[in-house]
Amino acid sequence: MNFSQWLSARGRITRTIWWRWYGFVFLGFGLLNGLVQRGHGMPSLLEALLGLVSLLLVPAAICGGAKRWHDRDCSGWWQLVVLIPLVGWLWNLIAVGAMPGNTGPNRFGPDPRETGGIAPPWGPPSVPLRRGTEAAPRRDGGSVPPTG
């Protein structure tokens, strides 16, 4: 996974990719930051550097969470569940880190298990709109309802 994919909230990723690239990275960084906060002889410059890196990782964490919610066919806005006192963080961790995503394509893209863990954000697949009709493909790979 390249850096531009870290900062994109489009598409879908598997639990394995989320844990590898988001969960463990942020868990390790959080532990390191916790050691600095406890004052284990770290210079204040290192504290400032860790604080800056923490702020830079926040957008990547939000994007990774959105992609996991997309894999479950839910809006990335479901991440706001963390704002529910006491149970929000646990709910989000279970939904994002433990529950499997939808099988097959959904409105956020193809199944990431079929594309090596990361589904490209080229839009939803063509899906039947009503009996006997199918959506017309767009140039970007998504679909547009037929006219007329």
Residue pLDDT, tens place only, 83-101: 998 899 899 889 988 999 8
DSSP letter for 85, please: T
> Which pLDDT score, from 0 to 100, does residue 123 have?
43
| b (16+ CB within 10 A) / e for 66-78 | bbbbbbbebebeb
Residue pLDDT, tens place only, 37-57: 666 555 677 777 777 877 877
Cα 16 to Cα 40: distance, rounded to the nearest angstrom: 33
Entry pTM = 0.67
